[in-house]
Amino acid sequence: MSFNLLTLAGVAVTLHLLGLLAAVHAVIYTRTPQGAVGWAVALVSLPYLTLIPYLFLGHSRFHGYIVAHRRRRARWRDGQGRPSSHTTHGPPHANCQRLDALARLMGRPFRPGHALKLLENGRTTFDAILADIARAEHYVLAQFFIIHDDAIGTEFADALIQRARAGVAVHVLYDGIGSHDLPSRYIGRLRAAGVKIHAFATRTFTNRFQLNFRNHRKIVVVDGDCGYVGGHNVGDEYLGDKPPLSPWRDTHLRIAGPAVDELQRSFAEDWYWVTGTALTLRAPRSNEGGASCLALSCGPADRFETCSLAFVALINSARKRLWLTTPYLVPDNAVMSALRLAVLRGVEVRLLLPARPDHRIVFAVSSLYAHEAIGAGIAVYRYRAGFMHQKVALIDDDTALVGSMNLDNRSFRLNFEIGVLTVDEDFAARTEAMLARDFARARRVTPSDYARIAALRRVGMHVARLFDPIL
């Protein structure tokens, strides 16, 4: 008996020492003070429960990607390695000036001459993507967080295989964690047909347990002539074909014009990190579209917390209206403060959230933040006609954002994301009409909704919020 007690005591002491060492590591390397405090307290007090999660979620070093990313940005800002420039028609929209801080943050200006198409559901989105892939003559670049081996996954693979066999260069990236269940036979079928397909991962030997820093981008580019960004991944659930979350509500954007260059360069940067090979890209064609656009690419390799700063800048630019849709509401202090200030400026601030949870812990934390938002004067709505997954923002009467970014810490600091910011009254009007239909299918949340939640569940919501740096 005494031997067993001594052994148990030795194990406990060892775990606490390891927890202390991990806590020191967390204090030095965690990206935010909140995250550092959360990890340090948990590792010191409960190493039995937190040491293993820290191996998978806490290590934040992927130095090689950061170095390559920043060198690439420096070269492109100096104008090196770009394809020949195309003709644009006149200056960007005059209202782009109020978003100049965003352009400086991205290191590139708004550019005019874009044609935009708003795609409001999965079937419409993939019909458009597959039609453009079928017309590809030079290359197809495709990147998704999730690719499933299901009906739409098969359609997608068939389209890529057909173009690869026709001599088109086809490059595909998928996230190694988001697509963890993608079978080897799916990948093998594509490779056998000549498609170059790889998993994105920031793991190396020194951080081989890392599950954070996911590539959450959704990009398709065909010949440099058109591109797609938005919330859809490749899976039947995104077509609304898998209960209990169906019908699925999501939004994608088709874009033609100069900003396509930034979409394909974002892909090329990730491709180089994974494969070590550079891609040859074509300059986008000139077109007569009237929209001015700026691609917002962001991630944990950025020198600044680009995604959070971008949302703060967008919110601060609103003078009349700010409508935001997100499946996950876990904002940081900067974004939440910007939303409160927008209300105080007299801006109509609306948030559209799902009524159904796909991740229960995140839903609980989002519900708590929704309650705080209502207290700040923000109108919060729950979408009832299925699961709402879109990531769209509408600012005043001329500016809209469609992309992959959620209003949570994962998008702000842990994931690689991309979206397109547009300044154009016509596209903003189409976005307004789309969101008005969504709000008509939603119920406004009231303060009494929180009061009706059972006391024990409210305690659980507050406990769950302690983990919001990694949600």
Known catalytic membership, residue 408 = no
Point out the catalytic residue in the list 148, 218, 232, 252. Answer: 218
Known catalytic membership, residue 252 = no
Lookup: tokens for 232: 């859809």
How many Cβ atoms are within 10 Å of 45's Cβ, its own excluded? 13
Q: How far apart are CA 306 and CA 106, in angstroms?
A: 8
Point out the catalytic residue in the list 225, 332, 396, 468. Answer: 396
Known catalytic membership, residue 16 = no
Known catalytic membership, residue 270 = no
Chain Cα centroid distance, residue 74: 24
Known catalytic membership, residue 389 = yes
Point out the catalytic residue in the list 93, 389, 408, 468. Answer: 389
Among candidate residues 363, 359, 355, 357, the one with its CA nearest the CA of residue 384: 355
Q: Give me the DSSP letters along 140-163.
A: EEEEES-B-SSHHHHHHHHHHHHH
Task: Decide: residue 322, CB within 10 A, 0-12 exposed, 13-18 middle, 19+ buried.
Answer: buried
Among candidate residues 179, 217, 214, 181, the one with its CA nearest the CA of residue 198: 179
Point out the catalytic residue in the list 132, 223, 261, 468. Answer: 223
**Which residues have C-beta within 8 Å of that of residue 393, sequence separation ≥ 6?**
314, 322, 323, 324, 325, 400, 401
Known catalytic membership, residue 216 = yes
Question: CA of 428: how far to CAs of 117, 288, 347, 434, in Å?
Answer: 11, 18, 17, 10
Task: Decide: residue 387, CB within 10 A, 0-12 exposed, 13-18 middle, 19+ buried.
Answer: buried
Question: In this structure, are strands 111-119 and 291-298 parallel, antiparallel, or unpaired?
Answer: antiparallel
Backbone φ and ψ for 268, nearest 5 degrees, come out as -60, -35
* Residue 216, amino acid: H
Point out the catalytic residue in the list 391, 398, 408, 438. Answer: 391
Point out the catalytic residue in the list 216, 232, 252, 371. Answer: 216
Question: In this structure, are strands 291-298 and 417-423 parallel, antiparallel, or unpaired?
Answer: antiparallel
- Active site residue ranges: 216, 218, 223, 389, 391, 396
